[in-house]
Amino acid sequence: MKRNGYLALCFVMCFTIFSPMAVAKEKAGQQKGDNHFAPLASSAVMIEADTGTVLYEKNANEKMPPASITKVMTMLLIMEAVERGELKLTDKVRTSERAASMGGSQIFLQPGEEMTVEDMLKGIAIASGNDASVAMAEHLAGTEESFVARMNERAQQLGMKNTHFVNSNGLPAANHFSSAADIAIMSRELLKHDGITKFTGTYQDYLRKDTESPFWLVNTNKLVRFYEGVDGLKTGYTGEAKYCLTATAKRNNMRVIAVVMGEPDVKTRNNEVSTMFNYAFTHFQVMPMYKKGEAVRALVVDKGQKPQINAVTPHAVSLLMKKGESADTFQKEIVINEAVHAPIAKDQVIGHIFIRTKDGKEVNRIDLFPEDQVDKANMWEILKRTTKSVLISY
């Protein structure tokens, strides 16, 4: 993005902000002393969702089998397809013989059975249905193999360096692995889709409600019911992976994501995640800055069908600080291109919000995007606009 003609606005924010990289390094140095958070987990990580700041980690980059936590990526691709308009929650999905044959946790889909995308999501998010995951993968990409290729491509785009998927549901397979840090990344991305917690945060529901054989769903993540603020996200278990969980909880505008892998049993898994959440909510708080999609600044569009466009935030933006700590001064700087040339795509970065320390060290950067797509104006539109501008000047 060109920096010519940028507008900059700086002002001092009196809050202590933590750099994800700096905190990660600090925690790595204190790892031995911090193991009481998740002493029995093989690996673990906890982040604040808005900023991505690492609050705790233990062997966070170690490659391990993720079991059904794999379905976080499956759900992410589903939700992104819905957001792009390629898929509707009311669309019917037909179950293939292959999808129906999946073992392990399932919602007992029958070959040829049709179910809405919404109900398939319930089956994946609440009951961890392996059959529902494969049915959705085939519906979106034609084959599960093609869908898995999309999963790996998306993982690369998100910077998940220690992840490789072989299937869409997490059943044991050679060369199928992830890490606690990577799971936190894709969990954070999934949570940018506000509607997902409608499914992951539901403790119980039914499928096939209007039939003679309704199917009762009970969430495999019991923290949804027993820990205040938990509304997701995904459990996992195989003999190789042991007990895994990526959990998220929200209190007082602060959302935290905690991931544990290789736990010995469900009780330990839930207790250690609860301990991590207790630490986060006791010691930290956030100050909301912008809502998702909030307009930050307007900018001129050169030769566009619209003469100007708003730069908006792609997700909620917050400042993280320790409770009760006196503030060191940080600067927030909004840098927007003074003018951009049409056409403009919705995924085009047109500005940034920078958070820096007083000595200029960058601790957070939020990309800004156009509120709408802007097509290039035709010659007649440009001529009318130019003529109008000339007449006004006189």
2.60.410.10, 3.30.1490.20, 3.90.180.10, 3.90.950.10: which CATH number matches 7-18+291-393?
Answer: 2.60.410.10
Convert the pLDDT of each residue in 363-380 to its tens digit. Answer: 788 999 999 998 887 766
SS (H, E, C) the chain: CCCCCCEEEEEEECCCCCCHHHHHHHHHHCHHHHCCCCCCCCEEEEEECCCCCEEEEECCCCCECCHHHHHHHHHHHHHHHHHHCCCCCCCEEECCHHHHCCCCCCCCCCCCCEEEHHHHHHHHHCCCCHHHHHHHHHHHHCCHHHHHHHHHHHHHHCCCCCCECCCCCCCCCCCCEECHHHHHHHHHHHCCCHHHHHHHCCCEEEECCCCCCCEEEECCCCHHHHCCCEEEEEEEEECCCEEEEEEEEEECCEEEEEEEEEECCHHHHHHHHHHHHHHHHHHEEEEEEECCCCEEEEEEEECECCCEEEEECCCCEEEEEECCCCCCCEEEEEEECCEEECCECCCCCCEEEEEEECCCCEEEEEEEEECCCECECCHHHHHHHHHHHHHHHC
Single pTM value for the model: 0.84
Catalytic residue status for 68:
yes
pLDDT of 95 higher than 50: yes
Question: According to the model, what pLDDT value does residue 195 have?
Answer: 94
Considering the chain, what is the average pLDDT of its residues? Answer: 87
Least confident span in 11-25, 164-178, 247-261, 310-324: 11-25
Cβ-based neighbours of 191, under 8 Å, separated by 6 or more? 49, 197, 232, 233, 248, 255, 257
In this prediction, residues 79-96 reach a mean pLDDT of 97
Short-list 357, 25, 338, 24, CA closest to 184: 24
Residue 155: other Cβ atoms inside 10 A: 21
- State the average pLDDT over residues 204-216: 92
Choose the catalytic residue: 42, 68, 96, 133. 68
Out of 27, 58, 71, 242, the active site residue is 71
Domain ranges of the chain: 7-18+291-393, 35-285
Q: Residue 198 catalytic?
A: no
| Cα separation, 126 vs 142, whole angstroms | 24
Give residue-wise pLDDT tens across range 21-33: 334 434 433 443 3
The answer to whether residue 71 is catalytic is yes
**From 128, 133, 179, 187, the catalytic residue:** 128
- What pLDDT is stored for residue 203 in this prediction? 97
Range from 30-34, 74-78, 289-293, 318-322 carrying the lowest mean pLDDT: 30-34
Spell out the CATH class of 35-285: alpha beta
- Strand pairing report for 295-302 and 339-341: parallel
Asked whether the domain spanning 35-285 has the same topology as the one spanning 7-18+291-393, the reply is: no
